[in-house]
Amino acid sequence: MSGWTGGADAIGDIAPALAHYTDKILFDEVWERSELSKRDRSLVTVTALVTLGATEQLTFHASFARDNGVTETELVEAITHLAFYVGWPRAMAAIGVVRAVFAHS
C-alpha cells in the first residue's frame, strides 16, 4: 500500500507534520517493510495498543488487522493471553472494541 492518506484526512488540517509522518513514514514505509507480514504487524500493533490501554486507536487497528487477515478468534485469543500480563481492565476494554469492530464487518 502506498499513498496512504489517513493521517491527512484525520488531522492534516491541524497537524500537517504529524499527518505527514503518519502517512509517509509509518504507513507508506514501515508498514510496507517485508521483514514482517502486514498480518503480523497488525497483531503486534493490536497487542501494543491493548497493553497501553489505547482503545481510541484500537478501533481502527482491529479493523485494519481484520483486513490484513487476522481473525476475530485470533484477536480474542491474543487479548485473553494479554489479560494475564497487562491486566483485566485493559483486556476487557479491548474485547469490547473487537466485538464492536467485528459486529460491523
The H-assigned helical ranges of 12-87 are: 16-20, 38-52, 55-67, 72-86
53 and 93 in a single domain? The answer is yes
- pTM equals 0.90
pLDDT digit string, tens, across residues 22-31:
999 999 999 9
pLDDT digit string, tens, across residues 51-81:
999 999 999 999 999 999 999 999 999 999 9
Cα separation, 25 vs 19, in Å, equals 10
Grid coordinates representing 43 are: 497483531
52 and 96 in a single domain? The answer is yes
Position 8: which residue type?
A
Domain count, the chain: 2
Instruction: Share the mean pLDDT of the chain.
Output: 96
26 and 40 in a single domain? The answer is no
Q: Which domain holds residue 56?
A: 36-103
Task: Quote the percentage of the chain above a pLDDT of 70.
Answer: 97
